[in-house]
Chain A
Amino acid sequence: MNALFANATTLLLAAEDSGEHAETVLADGGVLASAAWLIPVVPMVMAFLIVFFGKRSPLKGWGMAVGAMGFVALYGTVLFGIAMFGDAIGYQGAISIGDVGTTTVEGTTSLLHLEWGWMVDGLSSMMYFVVGVVGLFVFIYAKSYMKGDIRYTWFFASFTLFAGGMLVLVSAPNLIQLIVGWELVGVASYLLIGHYWEDHENSSAAIKAFLVNKVADVGLFIGAIMIGLSVGSFRFTDIMDVVSGGGGTPLATVAFWAGVALFIGAMGKSAQFPLHVWLPDAMAGPTPVSALMHAATMVTAGVFLIGRMFPFYNSPEYAEEMRWIIVIIGSLTLFLPGLIALVQDDIKKVLAYSTVSQLGYMMVAMGAGAYTAGLFHLFTHAFFKALLFLGAGSVIHAVHSNNMSDMGGLRKYMPWTFWTFLIGSASLAGIFPLAGFWSKDEILASLAYAGDNYPVDAGGEALAYTALVVAIAGAFVTAFYMTRAVSLTFFGGYKGHGEPHESPKMMTVPLVALAVGAVTAGWLNIPGVTAYFTDGVNAVFTAPGDHHAESLNYGLAVTASLVGLLAIGLGYLLWYPDKETQQERDTFRIPVLYPLLVNKYYIDDFYMDVIVRPIRGPIAQAVNWFNGHVIDAVVNGVGFGTKALAKPIYAFDQRGLDEAFNVTAAGTAATGTFLRMFQTGKVQQYAVMIFAGTVLLVAGLIIF
Chain B
Amino acid sequence: MIIMQFLILGAALFSLGVYGVLTRRNAVLVLLSVELMLAAVNINFVAFDRFLGDQLAGGQIFALFIIAIAAAEVGIGLAIILLIYRNRHDANVDNLDLMKL
Residues of A within 8 A of B (CB): 676, 679-684, 687-688, 691
Within 8 A of A (CB), among B1-19: 18
| A174, B28: Cα distance in complex, Å | 131
Q: Out of B18, B21, B23, B98, which one reaches A681, CB within 8 Å?
A: B98
Could you give, for residues 11-46 of chain B, a 1 whenever the CB lies within 8 Å of some chain A CB and a 0 otherwise? 000000010011100000010000000000000000
| CB <8 Å contact, A683 and B93 | yes
The answer to the question of B86 belonging to the interface, with a C-beta cut-off of 8 Å to chain A, is: no
A174 to chain B, nearest CB (A): 105
| A699, B30: Cα distance in complex, Å | 26
| With A679-B99, A682-B97 already in contact, 11 other A-B pairs whose C-beta atoms are closer than 8 Å | A676-B101, A679-B101, A681-B99, A681-B100, A682-B94, A682-B96, A682-B100, A683-B30, A683-B93, A687-B22, A691-B22
| CB <8 Å contact, A684 and B101 | no
Q: Out of B18, B30, B100, which one reaches A680, CB within 8 Å?
A: B100
**A-B CB contact pairs (8 Å), 18 listed:** A676-B101, A680-B97, A681-B96, A681-B97, A681-B98, A681-B100, A682-B94, A682-B96, A682-B97, A683-B30, A683-B93, A684-B21, A684-B30, A684-B93, A687-B21, A687-B22, A688-B22, A691-B18
Contacts of B94 in A (CB 8 A): 682, 684
| A688, B30: Cα distance in complex, Å | 13
| A683, B98: Cα distance in complex, Å | 11
Q: Out of A676, A679, A683, A691, which one reaches B96, CB within 8 Å?
A: A683
| A684, B98: Cα distance in complex, Å | 14
A271 to chain B, nearest CB (A): 108
Contacts of B98 in A (CB 8 A): 681
Contacts of A691 in B (CB 8 A): 18, 22
| A681, B94: Cα distance in complex, Å | 9
**What interface size band does chain B fall in?**
10 to 19
Contacts of A681 in B (CB 8 A): 96-101
Within 8 A of A (CB), among B61-101: 93-94, 96-101
| CB <8 Å contact, B22 and A684 | yes
| A688, B94: Cα distance in complex, Å | 13
| A687, B30: Cα distance in complex, Å | 11
Contacts of A684 in B (CB 8 A): 21-23, 30, 93-94
Contacts of A682 in B (CB 8 A): 93-94, 96-97, 100
| A472, B10: Cα distance in complex, Å | 155
| Closest chain B residue, CB of each to CB of A673 | B101
Contacts of B23 in A (CB 8 A): 684
Contacts of A687 in B (CB 8 A): 21-22
| A682, B100: Cα distance in complex, Å | 8
A574 to chain B, nearest CB (A): 128
Considering residues B98, B99, B101, which has the most beta carbons from chain A within 10 angstroms of its beta carbon? B101
| Closest chain A residue, CB of each to CB of B30 | A684
| A684, B96: Cα distance in complex, Å | 10
B25 to chain A, nearest CB (A): 9
B3 to chain A, nearest CB (A): 20
3 tightest Cβ-Cβ pairs between the two chains A and B: A681-B97, A681-B100, A679-B101
Contacts of B99 in A (CB 8 A): 679, 681
| A691, B18: Cα distance in complex, Å | 9
| Closest chain B residue, CB of each to CB of A683 | B93
Contacts of B101 in A (CB 8 A): 676, 679, 681
| A676, B98: Cα distance in complex, Å | 14
Contacts of A680 in B (CB 8 A): 97, 100
| A691, B33: Cα distance in complex, Å | 14
Contacts of B96 in A (CB 8 A): 681-683
| CB <8 Å contact, A679 and B22 | no
Contacts of B93 in A (CB 8 A): 682-684
Contacts of A676 in B (CB 8 A): 101
B73 to chain A, nearest CB (A): 14
| A682, B21: Cα distance in complex, Å | 12
Contacts of B18 in A (CB 8 A): 691
| A603, B2: Cα distance in complex, Å | 141
Contacts of B21 in A (CB 8 A): 684, 687
| CB <8 Å contact, A679 and B100 | yes
B13 to chain A, nearest CB (A): 16
| A198, B90: Cα distance in complex, Å | 117
| A109, B1: Cα distance in complex, Å | 130
Contacts of A688 in B (CB 8 A): 22
| Closest chain B residue, CB of each to CB of A678 | B101
| Closest chain A residue, CB of each to CB of B97 | A681
Contacts of B22 in A (CB 8 A): 684, 687-688, 691
| A77, B98: Cα distance in complex, Å | 132
| A679, B98: Cα distance in complex, Å | 10
Contacts of B30 in A (CB 8 A): 683-684
| A676, B99: Cα distance in complex, Å | 11
B32 to chain A, nearest CB (A): 14
| A691, B15: Cα distance in complex, Å | 11
B81 to chain A, nearest CB (A): 11
B97 to chain A, nearest CB (A): 3
Considering residues A676, A684, A688, A691, which has the most beta carbons from chain B within 10 angstroms of its beta carbon? A684
Contacts of B97 in A (CB 8 A): 680-682
B36 to chain A, nearest CB (A): 14
| A688, B20: Cα distance in complex, Å | 11
| Closest chain A residue, CB of each to CB of B21 | A687
| A187, B22: Cα distance in complex, Å | 118
| Closest chain A residue, CB of each to CB of B23 | A684
| Closest chain A residue, CB of each to CB of B27 | A683
A489 to chain B, nearest CB (A): 124
| A682, B22: Cα distance in complex, Å | 11
| Closest chain A residue, CB of each to CB of B99 | A681
| A153, B22: Cα distance in complex, Å | 127
| A681, B99: Cα distance in complex, Å | 4
| Closest chain B residue, CB of each to CB of A688 | B22
| A238, B59: Cα distance in complex, Å | 133
A29 to chain B, nearest CB (A): 121
| A27, B22: Cα distance in complex, Å | 143
| A688, B99: Cα distance in complex, Å | 17
| Closest chain B residue, CB of each to CB of A676 | B101
A467 to chain B, nearest CB (A): 120
| Closest chain B residue, CB of each to CB of A686 | B99
B99 to chain A, nearest CB (A): 4
B65 to chain A, nearest CB (A): 21
